[in-house]
Amino acid sequence: MVKGIGLIATALLLCAIIAPATWADTLTGQSGTVSFDSPSLGAVYDGPYSFTVPAAVAVAGGRIQNSIGATTIDITFTTYNNAVCSSCSFIGEVFNFPGFTISGVSGSESFPAVVTFDANDIYVNFLGYDVSPSDYVDITVTGTVTPPPMPEPSSFGQLVLGILALGVVGFFSRALIMRNSSLA
């Protein structure tokens, strides 16, 4: 009985240590936020709005529609939007994906929006353009899911000790049951 529990504990420990981690390279299932910043980056005008991919999120009072999929962000406009401002440095959207490391963005747009990114954020600047309901920005995102941290070795030790303790309790409870049944 103890050997069997010891083998199970060893198998669990080995699976936890050497099991290959496979991480999807898509946004599917990722949590994120989107905000509309104006008149500068970091000056949140509307939002942030939380979502889990796939998602549809409207910002700026519903004037900007965002469809966020596994590898794409599609931005469309429902009304005329004036993004011309002489004292502004940024008028646009900021997408944040804390559990996803972005390695690249590409895409197309019907007007020259400026799309930039860093490790977890995508910035879409509309500054200087009048956009209409026929305008769009389609972004393709590449990157990797940030894996969860590996547990400390002491966690594995606690797992093994817990399983061994269960084995010892099981062994002695069985011995106690057999002893009591022989007395009867």
The residues, ordered by sequence, that sit 6+ positions from 103 with a Cβ below 8 Å of its Cβ are 142, 143, 144
Strand partners, 62: none
Question: pTM of this prediction?
Answer: 0.69
Sorted by where each begins, the domain ranges of the chain are 2-21+149-183, 31-145
- Compute the distance between CA of residue 60 and CA of residue 79 in angstroms, rounded to an integer: 11
Residue 182: pLDDT over 70: no
The pLDDT tens digits for 42-72 are: 999 999 999 999 999 999 888 999 999 999 9
Give the model's confidence band at 13: pLDDT under 50 very low, under 70 low, under 90 confident, else very high: low
The pLDDT tens digits for 88-147 are: 999 999 999 998 999 999 989 998 889 999 999 999 999 888 888 889 999 999 999 876
Per-residue tokens: 151 = 């547990």
Give the model's confidence band at 171: pLDDT under 50 very low, under 70 low, under 90 confident, else very high: confident
3-state SS assignment for residue 13? helix
Percent of the chain with pLDDT over 90: 48
Per-residue tokens: 26 = 């898509």
Give the per-residue pLDDT at 8. Answer: 65
Strand partners, 161: none
Averaged pLDDT of the chain: 83
Closest-CA residue to 9 (of 172, 156, 180): 156
- Compute the distance between CA of residue 160 and CA of residue 96 in angstroms, rounded to an integer: 39
Percent of the chain with pLDDT over 70: 78
Give the per-residue pLDDT at 20. Answer: 44
